[in-house]
Structure 1
Amino acid sequence: MKYLLIILFSIIPSSLLAQESIVFGVHSKTAPLEWRNNGVDQGFNIELINRIGQLIDKRIIVRRKSFQQLLEDVHNPNSDIDVIAVVSPVNLDRKLNQSDPIYATHAKAYTLQGKALINNWADLVGKRVAIKKSAFVDVYLSGYPQNFERVDVDLYETGFQQMIDGKIDVVIAENFVARRLLPLYPSVRSSSNALIYGAFNFVCNGEKNALMNQINDALRQLKLSGEYDKLVNKWFGTGREKVDLTSTEKRMFSLAILVAVISAIGMIYTGFISASLRRHTKALDAELIQRNRIEAEISELSKQFQSVLDGIPHGVTIVNQELQRLWSNDNNIHLLVSDEFFYIDNRSFVLKTAVLDVLSSQSSFIADMQYQQQYWQLQIHPIAEDQVVILLEESTEQHRLRQANEEASRLASLGELSAGIAHEINNPTGLIVHAVSLFSAAIKDLTPATVHYQKQNPFWQVAGLQPQVAMEELSHSCNTIEEGAKRISRIVNDLKRYAMPHVADEYTQVCLNDVVQVALRLTANQTKYHQVTTMQCEPSPHIKGDAQQLHQVLINLIQNACHACSEQSGAIVIETHVEDDKAILSITDNGCGMDSATLKRITEPFFTTRRNLGGSGLGLSVCSRIIKEHRGEMQVQSSLGKGTQIRLTFALEQQD
């Protein structure tokens, strides 16, 4: 043996025997950093430090110890460990000498399956969080306040097991280690994005500054030469992460045996059922021929039925309680989900609510609806416990005919009554006006006599008042009576005009723009407190009608808009334009608006919301009659607090 040693030493070069060595301490069993396969130490860190050792002419000795022991050794100048690889937070420096960054990593939160995700540090408040003692997470947290209950562990495996046992809630672990451990703990999952970023570094004791300088020089040389990139691609490239081949081979062998057993059982079972399948093949073939014939007949009948339903102009749709469309002829189905589709009384419509009400009560639902300027009838009928059929039919013409019939009935009776009332009121009103005129003249002539008589009799009084005061009161009373009589006369004239028929043959060609200009001039005193905007079509649309009556209509509408608007922010827009073969005159304001109950009655004679302010309730009634005599149409849209738009539509007349 002695001679053998002498021979060996004589064979080994003396330069190798004298070569300095670096003891590289490792602790990880995690691929691809530091791991062992079949007793051979390998991994990215080991291969990198070996290549650095070659460049600085030092032999690398790999020595495995626990993580805690390595940390103690690297702080001890007399330990047998020279260099270790650890992770440092990117924004913190360790007190020991460390190399340039080797490779980036991060730490994040891990919880049990089913627990809430961790979006940031604030989600850890009040939780029990496992931290590996002296790991880079521990180093990072030493400089930050902690609002959670910290539980120190020696290994991440310990933290995962304590979390499964219910002793802690969260483990904050370094990425590479956790990825190795997750297959061993299937109830644990990654629950956050990266919370801490770090980088692998080689770390030396403070007494070995020269060694760290050599390591950094060699590391930079490897990076410049591209050899570092090759190592990174080898160990960290996509799809190239290293695994424990021995354990993998054992698992694959066990899996292969299991697959072979299952295959054998499958072959036996396949042979058993193949015989049964052959027996049923002939019967199935005959049944298939019969079924194909029946399906063809059903398909033909379905096509005929579908063509009939598609030809229906009304919308027909079948939906379930989740509003999934089971069938539809696609006619006007878009209305059901439109925000402009609402009940006729302006209540909003929600399809799902209506469908659920029908299904819960198992009774049909029928309602009149409005969409823009159109009216629709909506029907929802239950056809199963969770299905309904929705029928949608336009009823605009029927609705307008019904409204016209109702209004015509009211106006016919009111017209006869108005004519009689006007005649009866006119005579006493004329007497009042004539008498008041006489009283006013008499008071004017008696005033000097009153002054003269008061000088003769200083204590004389008229109706308990001083003569001068009494004469002023009498004069004021006469003016008041005269104004009241004139107002009665105006109302009587409106009643006469309301009841008076008009002959359409007397109409002439009227320029709508001129009607607007005249009405604005006559209402200038009312509109001066508001912002009035006119948008007039050029050339001006012409219609056949009576200009004076149209002036009366527009003046009434402008005055109503002024009454509805506030003086500070009132805005009125008057517009003329042409749509197809129709002339349109519209007036829009941003005033107080009207509710649905008021909208239904605005054209009724004597209906007014301004009774206490002197309104007679005949203005819009007369306007409505004039527009109908002109074969026009008045549409009113209004919402409380948002304003009103009145749109007048007439037949367009070609200019002479």
Structure 2
Amino acid sequence: MLWPLLLSALYSPKSLAEQRDEYIIFGVHSKTPPLEWRNNGVDQGFHLELMRRIGQLTNKQIVVRRKTFQQLLTDVHDDTSPIDVIAVVSPVTIDRKLSQSDPIYATYAKAYTLQGKAFIHGWHDLAGKKVAIKKEAFVDVYITGQTQEFERVDVDLYETGFQRLIAGEVDVVIAENFVARRLLPHYPSIRSSSDPLIYGAFNFVSNLKNAQLMGKINDALRQLKLSGEYDRLINKWFGTGREKVDLSNTQQKMFWLAIIVSIISAIGMLFTGFVSLSLKKRTRALNLELAQRKRAEHQISNLSKQFQSVLDGIPHGVTLLNRECERLWSNDNNNELLTSSEFLFLNGGSFTLSNSLTQVLDSQNSLIADMIYRAQFWQLQIHFIGDDQAVILLEEATEQHNLRQANDEASRLASLGELSAGIAHEINNPTGIIIHSIAFFNDALKDLQLAANSYQKQNPFWLVAGLEPQHALVELNQSSITIEEGANRISRIVNDLKRYALPNISNEHQPIDLNDIVSVSLRLTANQTKIFKVNIQLSEPSPVILGDAQQLHQVMINLIQNACHACNPTAADDETRNIISIETGICDDKVFIIVSDTGSGMDSATLQRITEPFFTTRRSCGGSGLGLSVCSRIIKEHQAEMQFSSRLDHGTSIKIVFSSAPVFPTSQPLEQYL
């Protein structure tokens, strides 16, 4: 093949590189009919003729090198190989790393089995079977790197695979259509047993170093397609539907047949003319009908593929069954649940597919039920569709179930809020009595002081509750003060609770004292923060913003509770840990609140999701995952921003920045809030 090129280089003034540039070395697989073959020692074939025509358009001569398929693949990956171009099939879903031309001709691969074997509906039907795969072919490229449930048997040729199939060494051969069509007449016991499994396209392929050459080949290939010459070659080599046509013999036969027809036509010209006219009309009608059928088939095929793609893309399980529970079609999403013993009705009842299917088919009424599988919730629907068949729809409903639970929890919390408001009102009455009575006790103690002094002079050994009268009066006075302070504190907490439980009946924001929001929230959470060290740094004068005090109370209470949860009460003796800090202030005409702690902190993955509804790291401790989500919504309604910073084992800081400027400062002292 290359000897004429080398010999011409010895006797030509041109260099070997210059002469090499005038040729395209085309590697041909010697056992790939009907695309290439040798007839009477002459190389023929669709790819050869197409490549030679491309050579004419690119002013290059085509030199054919015949090798095995594996040798060609090795050469095309070798930068030093003399092979420039080969023709291979590539799966339509996978790009080869080498330089490729535009698609030349479409093909596909399907499964072939012995006569009498079951039809193969898809890859799942190959599970557990021995499947012959031609090594390095486009089927091999397609399945490489994918999970294979069948036992793969490598063969060098598809014909070898057919021979091993007859010998019983394999169960299935996955072969490319053109080659299999040539082989089937020689192996009558083998038949096509599936629809196309892989679609591929013939391409010219070359090493990346020949990218410029591939560009010229593509330009020539497009020119042939635009001129219609490409379609002529397609019709010549594939249009007859046979794998090979001997053009010379066919032309001779047609020539003699034409002479005979001409003689017969001369004898019966009128009759032949009438028949010819009828045949032309009939041919035009048949061609028109054939074209219409092809268009209809093409549209139906496209529609079928689109419909299949839509069904396969549905995230929910869709399965079509008959009365015998035979699966007629499925998109294979979560169908294993239907036969699992852990797939139960929501009330705990066991589910049996055959019983439920028979119930729907007999009654022709749909069955819709909520199911549970381990920790997941599902909705099962079985619908009668006629012909003793039913469709099963399986949709995961875990999120909807959680939403229902959250709604129920919110309703319970709302009821608890109303109940708390009523309890607060009831507590206020005895608290008022205590405050009123203790004032009387304080005044009485002042008057009793003189009487006690006089009586002690008369009875020096007189004791009050086991104490000396003066000491007892001091203790009574101190206890009275303590009771009064406690009652006032109860009154403040109850009032704060009542204000927090009031419904938000207006969307209009009012001026509110930010320090007051912090103070009220601390009083409501005093029972939780009492075991921690709380540092409070409130801006003076206190910032005032437009907002809803009830909603901001809810935000601050939630942030303080989260800080308490992050701290470890068992490490209360460690002065560097378990510190909760709250700060208010104004910076750059913007009001802010900072709540920080020195607790466990969060990693970056948790930090990105903390405002998502139902996301919580305290699920086992009763956390619902709604706290920060609600806080985020309230802060956005106040046109503010929550800024989070956290590190594992270093604590968390949450800063709320109100975008609007403060309304006006107040000068009330902090003591009125504490």
- Range of TM-score over shorter length: 0.3 to 0.5
Could you say which structure has the larger radius of gyration?
1
Q: TM-score, normalised by structure 2?
A: 0.34
